[in-house]
Amino acid sequence: MPAKYDPKRRECGARKVPFKYLIHYAQEAKDHWPWHATIFLNNNGTFQYACGGSIIDTNTILTAAHCVHTPNGLISENRIEVHLGRMELNNTDDRVQVHRVSKLIVHPHFLLNNIDNDIALIKLSTNITLTYFVQPVCLWDKGDDMKWIIEHNGILAGFGETENHSVSNHLREATVKVIRWWDCIETNREAYSKTLTSSMFCGRGNESANACKGDSGGGLVFEYAGSWFIRGLVSFIPGDPVKQCDISAYTVFMDVAKYLDWIEQHVEPTNPSNVNHRFIDDNPNLQYLNQDDCGIPQGDGNIKNVNVYPWIGLIGTETSYNNFVIRCQVTLIHEWYAVAPAHCIYNNTV
């Protein structure tokens, strides 16, 4: 595979490496999300992991404003490094690009003790080299109507804390469902009613995967017509900052769609990838499929557990000795329907 991607095409939202799940329900995201940026801060001479971010053009990272602040104010640019193409915190390979920072652009209405407008841009000192493992995500281009994302699943990648209460060494991903604003408030009035604004929305993973400390600044992305678009930015999760994450709590995201005018003042334009991907949302037959609860793994994340990928099944035949002979694998797409290779059932093979 060639090492570089043609930067002249200025595409966005394309994953150039074949998708493959690895070992955990909060799946390791190796090579899946090439726009994920890893932000490190220099503390006493050592760069330590701090936050996530997203590549949005050839020298700009979108992240949360609180990721580039301390209680004393804005962090100095020379204390920040941005790593791209990084899949493990403790190991580096030749895919990883390390960039220093030339400028921090924080939303003008952000206040550290107020949470609102928690959005910032990091300008890199050197341009990003686009490769199969480093790509920009598309900025949301469908307006700020919530109908596009309410009750829909997005994907969040990050190095946030795991069930072991330590930062993950591996970049992992979680499926996050967005809920209505008032439903979020009802789950915790004390936490959400005083902080949620119209520039935010809520979402949550399930019992095995959710945002946690360390995921701040990471992007919540949605796929449309073969390209991935960033709509959310991890801002905060209610709870005691000293204790472990409450995976039952809803994550609050800044709504990127509400800040496009501000963002676009500082970035180069990109275009969704021209992947030949058939967009079938208007196919009338889709009404027969339940798309709200599909594609969600179950179980404890052990790949040996049959519940990890509950849509996988087997078909076969029973022999005269009462033995079951497996013929093929099938994929469940509905409670009554599965798809299988034609040769498995051709000419009464099964």
| Tokens representing residue 51 in the block | 């936050």
Q: What is the pLDDT of residue 164?
A: 64
Among 3-17, 87-101, 135-149, the minimum mean pLDDT is found in 3-17
d(CA 210, CA 212): 6
Q: Is the pTM of this model over 0.75?
A: no
Among 93-97, 129-133, 226-230, 308-312, the minimum mean pLDDT is found in 308-312
Q: Are 316 and 350 in contact (CB under 8 A)?
A: yes
Q: What is the pLDDT of residue 112?
A: 82
Q: C-alpha angle 321/326/327, rounded to 5°?
A: 120
Confidence of residue 301 (pLDDT cuts 50, 70, 90): very low
Q: What is the pLDDT of residue 279?
A: 36
Q: Are 177 and 253 in contact (CB under 8 A)?
A: no
For residue 308, pLDDT over 80 is answered with no
Nearest to 311 by CA among 298, 328, 324: 298
d(CA 129, CA 94): 12
> Where exactly are the structural domains of the chain?
7-272, 284-293+301-348
For residue 249, pLDDT over 90 is answered with no
d(CA 82, CA 98): 6
Confidence of residue 27 (pLDDT cuts 50, 70, 90): very low
Integer-rounded Cα radius of gyration of the chain: 22
For residue 276, pLDDT over 60 is answered with no
Confidence of residue 24 (pLDDT cuts 50, 70, 90): very low
d(CA 91, CA 316): 44
DSSP 79: G
Q: Helices (DSSP H) in 211-281: which residue ranges? A: 260-264
Per CATH, domain 7-272 is 2.40.10.120: yes
Q: How far is CA 221 from the centre of its chain?
A: 5
Q: What is the pLDDT of residue 4?
A: 45
